[in-house]
């Protein structure tokens, strides 16, 4: 069965379940996983320059028999190419690694910049660069005219940043990819994005490896009631909120399982609010005072628009 799609604000259709690829980089496993996933019906693949595995993904993509137009390939530019003059080259580099002529969606991975020579995932203050987000965004907008990318969006952008950004955009981001799972539900951000025609993609939809969403007693009870797994409950909950999911698995059985979601009752959906923990897996630079505005939404005052 084909995965259902959601329509972006530019009319492009994006499959609502995609395959995550972060840390799926053991030699040989990833290529096998991509091929298996596509056989099972996955069409949306979530990549990023910083994951360091796009060459292997590109090789696997080049060997697929599915037409390119049926795939939905996403990638993200890292913080060290935020300077506007570096953005087009960063896209070319991604296309080169993935062996593609165009991407379906390119995201700004995080809303802050690092110096060109800094590709760390754990920046210190010396890694940071002073590049206004709108300068990077205007360079992203220009990429649409090149035909090398069908849609552009952002990732890890909170509401305060988007509120400042949207009135200045020629093209409003099509997607905001943020951490969303039952222990980090972000209801205000989801509502804000959806009201502004920005599709939310939830990353770490299963809580990743560190957050024990799948051991939650409530989720386990719901899974029992629907004769499915806790992972399927977590994914079904996101999809019922209109949030796209990109679970990562390199296991054949779990890849298949993650495509089969269930319909939760409205009572079950309501009860999820009781298990919220505001627990995040991913927050690089979490201890940097200079990046507080990225991670603490209530005090978010983006200095660089
Ligand atoms: N934009 C961003 O800043 C950002 C940040 C983080 C992640 N992402 C994207 O989001 C994707 C997903 O996030 P994630 O990989 O951190 O976490 P995740 O998808 O929530 O969880 C992945 C973990 O769950 C396991 N798993 C998968 N399906 C399962 C199932 N049905 N039952 C039990 N366990 C299952 C996987 O192990 P097995 O592989 O062994 O099945 C893996 O250990 C990433 O791969 C990446 O593409 C984006």
Tell me: the pLDDT tens digits for 206-226? Answer: 998 888 899 999 999 999 999
Q: Cα(147)–Cα(197) distance, rounded to whole angstroms?
A: 22
Strands 105-108 and 152-155, bridge-based pairing: parallel
Does some domain include residue 5?
Answer: no
Of 19, 20, 236, 285, the residue with max ligand 1 atoms within 8 A of its CB, to mutate for a pocket test, comes to: 20
**What is the model's pLDDT at position 283?**
80
Per-residue confidence (pLDDT) for residue 289, from 0 to 100: 86
Query: Quick check: 303 pLDDT over 80?
Result: no
Is residue 305 assigned to a domain? no
> Does 6 reside within a domain?
no
Nearest CA-CA partner of 52 in 26, 80, 71, 72: 26
**142 assigned to some structural domain:** yes
Per-residue pLDDT tens digits for 97-132: 999 999 999 999 999 999 999 989 889 999 999 999
Could you tell me if residue 4 is inside a domain?
no
243, 198 Cβ separation under 8 angstroms: no
**304 in a domain, yes or no?**
no
Q: What is the mean pLDDT of residues 6-30?
A: 92
Q: pLDDT-based confidence at 302, cuts 50/70/90?
A: confident
CA 253 to chain centre: 23
Angle between helical axes of 84-98 and 133-146 (0-180°, round to 10): 50
- CATH of residue 246: 3.20.20.100
Q: Which residue has the tokens 């994006």?
A: 14
Active-site hit among 42, 51, 112, 183: 51
296 is in an annotated binding site: no
Residue 136 lies in a domain: yes
The tally of domains found in the chain comes to: 1
What pLDDT was estimated at residue 294? 86
Domain assignment of residue 293, given as a range: 12-299
Q: What is the CA radius of gyration of the chain?
A: 18
| Ligand 1 geometric centre to CA of 264 (Å) | 22
Predicted confidence (pLDDT) per residue in 35-52, tens digit: 999 999 999 999 999 999
Asked about 51 being catalytic, the answer comes back as yes
Residues 83 and 138: their CA atoms lie apart, in Å, by 11
pLDDT at 181 over 90: yes
Extended strands (E) in the chain: 5-7, 13-15, 18-20, 44-46, 72-77, 105-108, 113-114, 128-129, 152-155, 175-179, 199-203, 244-245
Name which residue sits closest to atom 21 of ligand 1, judged by CA.
208
Q: Is the CB of 249 under 6 A from ligand 1?
A: yes
**Spatial CA neighbour of 76 closest among 180, 164, 154:** 154
Per-residue pLDDT for 297 more than 90?
Answer: no
Give a yes or no: residue 152 inside a domain.
Answer: yes
> Tokens for 103?
């991407």
Tell me which residue has its CA closest to atom 8 in ligand 1. 203
pLDDT over threshold 70, residue 299: no
Which single residue is written with the structure tokens 């005090």?
A: 299
């Amino acid at each position: 069965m084909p995965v259902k799609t959601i329509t972006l604000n530019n009319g492009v259709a994006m499959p609502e379940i995609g395959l995550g690829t972060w840390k799926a980089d053991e030699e040989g496993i990833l290529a096998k996983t991509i091929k298996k996933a596509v056989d099972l019906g996955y069409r949306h693949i979530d990549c990023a320059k910083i994951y360091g595995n796009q060459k292997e993904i590109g090789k696997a993509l080049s060997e697929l028999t599915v037409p390119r137009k049926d795939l939905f390939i996403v990638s993200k530019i890292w913080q060290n190419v935020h300077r506007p003059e570096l953005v087009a080259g960063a896209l070319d580099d991604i296309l080169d690694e993935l062996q593609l002529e165009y991407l379906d969606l390119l995201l700004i991975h995080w809303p802050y910049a690092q110096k060109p020579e800094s590709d760390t995932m754990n920046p210190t203050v010396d890694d940071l660069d002073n590049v206004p987000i709108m300068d990077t965004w205007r360079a992203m907008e220009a990429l649409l005219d090149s035909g090398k990318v069908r849609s552009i969006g952002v990732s890890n952008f909170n509401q305060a940043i988007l509120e400042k950004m949207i009135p200045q955009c020629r093209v409003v981001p099509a997607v905001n990819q943020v951490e969303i799972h039952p222990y980090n539900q972000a209801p205000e951000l989801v509502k804000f994005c959806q009201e502004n025609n920005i599709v939310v993609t939830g990353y770490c939809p299963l809580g990743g490896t560190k957050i024990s969403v799948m051991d939650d007693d409530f989720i386990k009870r719901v899974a029992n009631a629907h004769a499915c797994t806790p992972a399927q409950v977590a994914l079904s909950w996101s999809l019922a909120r209109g949030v796209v999911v990109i679970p990562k698995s390199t296991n054949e059985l779990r890849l298949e399982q993650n495509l089969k979601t269930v319909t939760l009752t409205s009572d079950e959906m309501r009860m999820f609010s009781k298990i919220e923990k505001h627990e995040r897996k991913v927050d690089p630079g979490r201890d940097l005072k200079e990046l507080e505005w990225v991670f603490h939404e209530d005090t978010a005052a983006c200095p660089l628009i």
